[in-house]
């Protein structure tokens, strides 16, 4: 099972963020899945579609590279780097206010997923938004 959880987690980065394949959301999340960085009651599937679409709009060459992925029981922790070229504004955090200038970014991320069977039950994420803004405003 640990091998499956690791593979499914890495597959999520590849399919959603790198390829723009949002069907992963329907396959591996449910209406009960929770993004712990969002308000209670947030429809996590719709929210995640918005995040992926917004990031891929702002950074058409968006890539997430998972560096390490560690599994302990039903928990999966991943350290990743997001790269891309800022080509458009997106209604997402600081990206909504920063004028695109074609700057390349490289932003560190940490993720923790709790799986319930073959679906993500809840997840946490931290990314270096200060570093992102610094790189975009250069």
- Looking up residue 9, the CATH number of its domain turns out to be 3.10.450.50
What is the value of pTM for the model shown? 0.93
Each residue's pLDDT tens digit, 9-64? 999 999 999 999 999 999 999 999 999 999 999 999 999 999 999 999 999 999 99
Each residue's pLDDT tens digit, 72-99? 999 999 999 999 999 999 999 888 999 9
Range of the domain at 19: 2-137
Q: How many Å apart are CA 22 and CA 42, to the nearest integer?
A: 18
Q: How many Å apart are CA 114 and CA 72, to the nearest integer?
A: 10
Q: What's the domain count of the chain?
A: 1
pLDDT of 59: 97
Q: Residue 26 contacts by C-beta under 8 Å, 6 or more apart in sequence?
A: 45
* Alpha carbon 118 to its chain's center: 18
């Amino acid at each position: 099972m640990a091998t499956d959880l690791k593979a499914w987690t890495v597959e999520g980065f590849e399919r959603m963020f790198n390829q723009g394949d949002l069907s992963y959301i329907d396959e591996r999340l449910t209406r009960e899945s929770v993004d712990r960085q969002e308000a209670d009651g947030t429809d996590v599937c719709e929210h995640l579609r918005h995040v992926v679409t917004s990031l891929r709009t702002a950074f058409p060459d968006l890539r997430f590279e998972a560096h390490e992925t560690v599994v302990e029981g039903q928990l999966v922790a991943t350290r990743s780097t997001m790269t891309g070229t800022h080509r458009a504004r997106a209604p997402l955090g600081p990206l909504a206010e920063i004028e695109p200038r074609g700057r390349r970014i490289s932003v560190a991320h940490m993720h923790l997923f709790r799986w319930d069977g073959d679906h993500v039950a809840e997840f946490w994420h931290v990314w270096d938004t200060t570093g992102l803004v610094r790189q975009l405003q250069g």
